[in-house]
Amino acid sequence: MDKFRKLGISEEIVRAIEEHKFTEPSEIQEKAIPSVLQGKDIIGGSATGSGKTLVFGSGIIQNTTPGKGVQALILEPTRELAEQVSRALKHFSKYKPLKIVSIYGGVAINPQYGDLETADIVIGTPGRILDHLARDTLKADYIKILVLDEADRMLDMGFIDDVEKIIRGIPRKRQTLLFSATIDGNISYLARKYLINPIEISAESYVDASKLKQVYYEVESHLKFSLLVHLLKQEKAGLVMVFCNTRKNADFVSKNLKFAGIEALSIHGGFSQEKRTRTIETFSSKRAVILVCTDIAARGLDIKSVSHVYNYDIPKDDKDYIHRIGRTARAGKEGKAVSLLTQRDFENFRRVLKNPDLEITSEPPPKIERVRIQWFDEAKEKGFGKGFSKSGFHGHKRDSGRSRDHRGDNREEREFSGSEHRSRVPRHTGFRRH
């Protein structure tokens, strides 16, 4: 614990850190905490899981006086991350009685009024924070520390206008701490405009590249899901995250994994807060070991012991790819990132490969058995029927009762059916890195 004390952290916080079983500071903690405690503005280049919550948390807890109004505001891109940071700060402030409140949309706003009246520290998503500032239920007069956490993802999600409105609504005389996995574009703009003589601190990726194996498989469209099932059944894995680009694909994959005898959960932005929380708790406790998710839903979730990441859909660029694979190979543990490519994934994959630091090797597809697919009908799921329509193997004709619009809109179901692809996709596409 002496290494934490040498950074200037108070004994109250050090005691809580010790109970949290931290043994020594991470790179970002060692570099940034002294400057944060001195009240300086910080631009921190660091990814989820690197220990940055303690970086800003130590400064906030140490410099907040109980009962003097809201003195620190932390902006997070997602509800899950707001809750996660709230839990961490409550633990680190165990020996200093502070009222820490997390607020976000998707739940009733009225109960939050009472919590804000007595809050010392507020963590929240931009939209709901802005609502409370507009209603004057969040008093900003005494805010002296502002944290923009996961700033790149907040801007990716379209929150830049809300973030700027919030910044303009709080005192100018304050300490501003900005953390982002990437520092470019709009992040640099925010830093130049709102931070005062900031100290820029970066930390290496928390992912151990020497322990992360990255591979891709090229497969015909009608065999893509079958390959996923084969790999999940054959690999000796711990916790597994399967990434899809859309909510519809995430639901479709998770439901059909269950149909194939593989227990899986899905999570995406269409879930209620209660369901999202329940899903993450189930996955984190290892009662279910496969989580099918979208980027937005998974962003900011610091889940331990993820051994495999599968890109069922290829992300649109290298930045999202790096965020995904950063879930595994942490803290000295082995990890594997697997990308499944069909012809329609090539464009995205070429963009990912433009990053020269990524080493992704090709693997020959194994011999796989076609997996039976259930065609899910959303209308029936919502109470107009029994949930699933007719099933069949890849390439079989779909349920003729489905409407043309539904068939035309569901890109993932068109892929799974195989009947629309088999005549158009060459057996060996020969994708090569360019």
Whole-model pTM over 0.85: no
For residues 30 and 171, state if they share a domain: yes
Q: Which alpha helices (DSSP H) does 247-374 contain, by range?
A: 247-259, 273-284, 295-298, 318-325, 346-352
d(CA 396, CA 419): 7
For residues 22 and 63, state if they share a domain: yes
Q: What is residue 206's predicted lDDT score, i.e. its pLDDT?
A: 54
For residues 85 and 234, state if they share a domain: no
For residues 196 and 218, state if they share a domain: no
Looking up tokens 């982002």 gives 180
> In this structure, is residue 433 part of a structural domain?
no
For residues 72 and 188, state if they share a domain: yes
> Could you give the C-alpha distances from 179 to 16, 77, 101, 151, 302, in angstroms and in order?
23, 12, 20, 6, 15
In sequence order, what are the residues at sequence separation of 6 or more whose Cβ sits closer than 8 angstroms to the Cβ of residue 111?
none
> In this structure, is residue 426 part of a structural domain?
no
Domain boundary among 167, 202, 237: 202
For residues 193 and 274, state if they share a domain: no
> Could you give the C-alpha distances from 371 to 142, 182, 226, 235, 394, in angstroms and in order?
60, 40, 5, 17, 7
Q: Which alpha helices (DSSP H) does 235-327 contain, by range?
A: 247-259, 273-284, 295-298, 318-325
Closest CA to 180 of 44, 73, 42: 44
Looking up tokens 């929240």 gives 124
Triad 132, 135, 137: Cα angle to 5°: 60
Which domain CATH number covers 285?
3.40.50.300
Which residue range is the domain that position 378 belongs to?
A: 209-417
> In this structure, is residue 430 part of a structural domain?
no
For residues 280 and 151, state if they share a domain: no
Looking up tokens 């940034």 gives 32
| β-pairing verdict for 335-341 and 212-218 | parallel
For residues 134 and 269, state if they share a domain: no
Residue 338, CB-side half-sphere exposure with 13 Å CA sphere: 25
Q: What is residue 377's predicted lDDT score, i.e. its pLDDT?
A: 59
Q: Per the structure, how many domains does the chain have?
A: 2
Domain boundary among 202, 217, 234: 202
Secondary element (H or E) of residue 188: helix 186-194
Domain boundary among 157, 173, 202: 202
In sequence order, what are the residues at sequence separation of 6 or more whose Cβ sits closer than 8 angstroms to the Cβ of residue 79?
104, 105, 106, 125, 273, 276
Q: What is residue 302's predicted lDDT score, i.e. its pLDDT?
A: 65
Q: What is residue 393's predicted lDDT score, i.e. its pLDDT?
A: 44
On whether the CB atoms of residues 221 and 342 are closer than 8 A, the answer is yes
For residues 49 and 197, state if they share a domain: yes
Q: Which residue pairs from 392-395 have beta carbons closer than 8 angstroms and sit at least 24 positions apart in sequence?
A: 394/222, 394/223, 394/225, 394/226, 394/370, 394/418, 395/222, 395/370, 395/419, 395/422
For residues 145 and 11, state if they share a domain: yes
> In this structure, is residue 425 part of a structural domain?
no
Q: What is residue 323's predicted lDDT score, i.e. its pLDDT?
A: 81
Averaged in consecutive runs of 10 residues, what is the pLDDT profile of the chain (434 residues)?
Answer: 92 93 87 96 81 94 97 93 93 96 94 96 97 97 96 87 96 96 84 95 68 93 95 89 94 94 89 79 84 80 83 92 82 85 96 90 93 68 44 40 34 36 38 50
